[in-house]
Structure 1
């Protein structure tokens, strides 16, 4: 076995560990969790961002377009999307590939009184959005563990951890600038649990550059993790 496959296997092992340790409880009814000093609703099956997770850091670190429009891909329970609406964004669109996350986000939009400026819908990256929709800022706290290409999702929560072959991230990098208004900003996250060299190659393949905006190191499920926010630009 070569070193590359050993590294891939180790990252995948950590991904499985995160699923086991951070995965949702076997609840059958909606529950709540606390983050960033607020209470949030959670539909069973949705990833619940706990203290130390990327959501806690990214939500307060990313630059929001004051008075502008904001699109979040992979919104999960809707924490970042709601925060954006509470902190200056006039229009927010929050999407997720799973129906449980969409349901959780909708509950949190109502809970925090931002239904007048936050729209939640299901979408696989940009595929299900209005083809003419464009935004002042687009953000994705992406799934950083590169699962095997034949990986099959067995529970909704796994979408928050794994991206088989980094296919979804590749589509995001290739298509995000087509969704920006003039002067808009494209943002993406990554962390030290993923394969940074592969993502750099992927960005090069898609003709974009990843420029570091901010970073923070924290402990997640016993693993020291460095979270990073990048702006995606075209040379």
Structure 2
């Protein structure tokens, strides 16, 4: 395990555990609801970056894996996506996404489902763009598999990353795009290995280095394209 990554994630996880009551926060010029136990995007610099970097398919379909409080799924609807599907393994996060869809008047375009990765989808669900801001901190298999909130930060054995790359093709429209939020604290080597295993090539399309208390983090928007 990357010691710096684990330490950074542990500090952020502790800050999340301090949120014990429903609250609101401001991000992207809007107010958002946040429930306890749900990933808090206002605590990281990546949230605004991905919201601005994503190539939203205007008049098309967008799927977010790991929607958290729903700020990005709602933003996709507000930016012109005709239909948005928001998925999260956490029931609290799914409820939180619904709350923010209602708050911003896009509940008619944002479908929310609770389940692991693509499990809630049917075989007919296809999207122009799929995105996941991943839990990039690699942990040994069998560790960090407890609380739902920890799953927002740690991916034991990169099992979730493998599931994303393995199962996404069946839910992409022809010509659809598959993107991932990642950082230099994650295991690029393991990610590339999984991409090759499942017939993808990975490339960074946007990146930004942001200062932190102990140095910097480089946030990356990675796109996967079919090999060959």
Match of 1:25 among 18, 26, 33: 18
Match of 2:105 among 113, 126, 130: 113
Question: Relative to 1, partners in 2 of residues 1:103 and 1:220: Cα closer, same or farther, differing over 3 Å?
Answer: farther
Note the 1:88-103 alignment, pairs <5 A.
88-103=80-95
Q: Is the 8 A contact 2:203 2:223 kept in 1?
A: yes
Quote how far apart the aligned CAs of 1:223 are. 4.4
Match of 2:8 among 3, 14, 19: 14
Quote how far apart the aligned CAs of 1:15 are. 2.4
The count of corresponding residues between Structure 1 and Structure 2 is 227
Q: Is the 8 A contact 2:183 2:220 kept in 1?
A: yes
Instruction: Specify every segment of 5 or more residues in structure 2 that has no aligned partner in the other structure, as ranges.
Output: none
Match of 1:122 among 114, 126, 133: 114
Q: Is the 8 A contact 2:73 2:86 kept in 1?
A: yes
Q: Is 1:131 matched up with 2:107?
A: no
- TM-score w.r.t. the length of structure 2 is 0.93
Note the 1:48-197 alignment, pairs <5 A.
48-50=40-42, 52-197=44-189
State how far apart, in whole Å, the 1-side matches of 2:83 and 2:212 are. 32
Higher mean C-alpha deviation, range 184-193 or range 77-86: 184-193
Question: Relative to 1, partners in 2 of residues 1:167 and 1:158: Cα closer, same or farther, differing over 3 Å?
Answer: same
Instruction: Specify every segment of 5 or more residues in structure 1 that has no aligned partner in the other structure, as ranges.
Output: 1-6
Q: Is the 8 A contact 2:4 2:185 kept in 1?
A: no
Higher mean C-alpha deviation, range 124-133 or range 10-19: 10-19
SS at match of 2:68: coil
Q: Deviations over 1:79-121 (max 9, x none)?
A: 1100000001000000111111111111100000000100111
Quote how far apart the aligned CAs of 1:130 are. 1.7
Task: Decide which structure has greater strand share.
Answer: 2
Q: Is the 8 A contact 2:2 2:137 kept in 1?
A: no
Q: Is the 8 A contact 1:24 1:48 kept in 2?
A: no
Q: Is the 8 A contact 1:79 1:105 kept in 2?
A: yes
